[in-house]
Structure 1
Amino acid sequence: MKRNFLDYLWLFFKGMAMGAADIVPGVSGGTIAFISGIYEELISTLSQFKISLISEFKNKGIKAVWNTVNGNFLLAIFLGIASSILLLSELVTWLLDEEPILIWAFFFGLVLASILYVFKKIERLNAVALIVLLLGVFIAYQITKLEILNSSESYPYLFLSGAIAICAMILPGISGAFILVIMGVYSTVLQAINDKDFLKIATFGFGALVGILYFSKILKWLFAKYKDLTLALLTGFMAGAMVKIWPWKKVLTEHINSKGIPVPLREECVLPYEYEGDPQLFAALTLMLIGFLLIFIFDFISVKTKSLESS
C-alpha cells in the first residue's frame, strides 16, 4: 500500500494510542489496533519475519527485506507505541494511584464500545460462533481471577514475561499489562522504563520480540481460515475482561510490593453506592461516556482516512 507522510503520521498516532492502552492493566493495545483498522495488516506484517529473510538480504539487499516486512508501517507503529510508553508511563501510574475511579471509568467506556464494534464485524453469527464467544468470556474472566505471583526481577523471568505479555497485548480484550500484573513484574517493568534501566528494558523487549513473531503467525492463520470465529473469541475476551476494569471495587486482600506499598491482591466489583469512599459518580459516568464515544469517533476518522488513501 502506497502511503504519504500524513498517512505515516496517522499511523504513528495510532501506535501512540496502542501504547497508551497497553500501559493500563485491563486494556489491550490490540483493541485499539483493531478499531483503528490496522490489526490485520499488523498481524500479517509481523508474520513476514521468517528465516528466509536472511537469504533475501544476501541476494537482494536491505531494501528488499525492508519492503517485504512492510518496514515503514512497522516503524511508524512501533515509534508511536514506544513514544507513548516513554511519555505516558509516569502519568498513567500517577492516575492509577491518585484517580483510579476516573481512569477506570474512561477505559470501561472505551472497552464497552470496543466490544460492540468487534461484535458487529462478525458476519455469520451462528451457534458455533456464540459458543466460541462464550468460551472467550469464560477464559478472560478466569484470567482476571488469577492471583498475583511474587515479583521477580531476574532477567530470564523478564524475558519470559515479555514473551507471554506481548501475546496478550496484540489480542483485543486480553491486557498484556494485566498479565504482567499477574506475573508480578508490572511495577518492575514500569520502574525500569521510568529509571531508563536499558538492560531490563532490552531483556523484556527481546522476549516480547520473540513472542510476537511466533504468535503473529498463529493469528494470521486464524484470521485467514476462521475469521468470524476468531472475532467471536476476541469479543468474548473483551467482554470477560470487563470485570477487571469496573471502576468501583472493594479490596478483599492485599500484598506488600518490593517498595513496601500495599497493592490489591483480590478485589470484588461493587455498585457505586456500595463503594467505600467518594464514588465520583458524575465525573466517572462522564468519562465513561467520553471513552465510549471516542471509539466511534476513532472509527469514523479511520474510515475517512482509508477513503482518502484509496482515492
Structure 2
Amino acid sequence: MTETVPGVSGSTIAMVLGIYERLLNALSMLTTKDRKKALPFLFTFGIGMACGFLASIYLIRYFLDNFYLQTFFFFIGIIAGFLPYIWKETVKTTKSGLIKKHYFIMLTSLSFVIIIIIIQFFSGMDNLDPNNLSFFNYLYFIIAGLFASTALVLPGISGALILTIMGIFEIAVDAISAFHLPIILTIGLGVFSGILITSRVVKYLLTNYISETYSAMIGLVSGSIFAILSNLETGFYTEFNVSVLITFIGGATLVVFLNVYKNRKV
C-alpha cells in the first residue's frame, strides 16, 4: 500500500517487518541461475502487494477527487518529516575521513534537486489526454516505470514518489482507476524491466557507494516537494486552510511514528 503514497517508502516498511534483506536478495536472484529459489517468496509477496496496491489506489483516487489539496499536503508532510531522518542516515554512512562531509552531501543533494526541477519544466505531462497519446508519451511512461522500480529496493523512496517527480502520478492513478490498459501496461513494462535490472544495481550502489546513494536520495526527496507543488492546480494557495495544515502535520507525524517503531524493532 505504501508504494502508492508519495514519500512513504515500501522498503522502510519491509525493514520494520523484518523482510527487507530477504526481499532484496530475492529480487537480485531473478537474473541469476538460482531464480527458482526466489520465486515462492516473491510470488506470495507479490499477491499481498497487488491486493494492497489496488485497494490503496482506489482509496487515493477517492481522496484526490474529494480532498485534493489536503491529500497532496499530506504527502508533502510525509516527505518533509522524512528529510531529517534521511539526512541523519546519510551523515552516519559518510566516511569519517571525508573532508567537510556535510558540504559533500549538500552538493550532491542539490544536484539532484536541480535535475528534478529541470524534469518538471521539460516533461510536458501537464494536461495530457489519455486517449491521444504519442509514441514518445508511451516511451516516457516506460522510462518512468523503470525508475519507479528502484523504490522496491531503495530505502526512503516510494514508487509513487518517483512517478510524482516524473510528473505522471495522477495519470497513473487515473489509468488504474479507469482500467486504461495502454498506460497500465507501458508503466508496468517499465517497472518489470526495472526490477530485473535495478535490484542488482541498487544493491551494488548501497554496498560500494552508500554515502553517494543516500545523498542522491536526499536530493530526490527534497526535490519531490517542488514536483508536487508544481503539479498542483493553479491557484491552490487561495484554498489553503486549517484542514490542509492538519493533513500536512498528520503526514509528518506518520513518519515520526514509523521511524520510532522501526528503531524499537531494531
List aligned pairs for 1:142-157, cutoff 5 A: 142-149=118-125, 151=129, 152-153=132-133
**Is it true that 1:83 corresponds to 2:83 in the alignment?**
no
C-alpha displacement of 1:77: 3.7
- The residue number in structure 2 matching 1:46 is 27
Shift of 1:179: 5.3
Matched-pair contact (CA < 8 Å) for 2:145–2:187: no
Whole-angstrom CA distance in 2 between matches of 1:77 and 1:300:
24
Q: TM-score, normalized by length of structure 1? A: 0.64
Quick one: percent identity of the two aligned structures?
19
| Cα 1:173/1:232, change in 2 over 3 Å | farther
> In 2, distance between residues paired with 1:139 and 1:82?
31
Aligned partners of 2:39, 2:10: CA distance in 1, in Å? Answer: 22
Judge conservation of contact 1:162–1:211 (CA < 8 Å) in 2: no
The corresponding residue for 1:161 is 141
Greater relative contact order (Cα < 8 A, sep 6+)? 2
Matching residue of 2:98: none
**Aligned 1:1-311 pairs, distance under 5 A:** 16-19=1-4, 21=5, 27-28=6-7, 31-36=8-13, 38=15, 41=21, 42-53=23-34, 57=36, 64-66=37-39, 71-85=43-57, 87-95=58-66, 99-122=67-90, 123=92, 124=94, 125-149=101-125, 151=129, 152-153=132-133, 158=138, 161-168=141-148, 170=151, 172=157, 175-178=161-164, 181=167, 186-187=170-171, 189-197=172-180, 201-246=184-229, 251=234, 275=237, 277-280=238-241, 282-304=242-264, 306-307=265-266
Q: Which amino acid aligns with 2:240?
A: P
The unaligned stretches of length 5 or more in structure 1 are 1-15, 22-26, 58-63, 252-266
Unaligned runs of 5+ residues in structure 2 are 95-100
**What is the CA–CA distance in structure 2 between the aligned matches of 1:236 and 1:214, rounded to whole Å?**
22
Q: 1:179 to 1:130 in 2, by over 3 A?
A: closer
- TM normalised by structure 2 equals 0.73
Structure 1: distance between partners of 2:124 and 2:259: 35
1:121 deviates by: 0.8
Per-residue deviation at 1:110? 0.8
Look up the equivalent residue of 1:287 and give its one-letter code. Answer: T
Deviation at residue 117 of structure 1 after TM alignment: 1.5
Q: How many residues align?
A: 244
Q: Residues 65-112 of structure 1: CA distance to partner in whole angstroms, max 9, x if unpaired?
A: 436x65544544444234322x325314414xxx33212221111100
Distance 2:185 2:60 in 1: 17
Shift of residue 285, structure 1, vs aligned partner: 1.6
Hey, which of these two has a bigger chunk of strand by percent? 1
- Taking only aligned residues, the RMSD between alpha carbons, in angstroms, comes to 3.5
Q: Distance in 2 between matches of 1:196 and 1:211?
A: 22
For the pair shown, which has the larger CA radius of gyration, 1 or 2?
1
SS at match of 2:122: coil
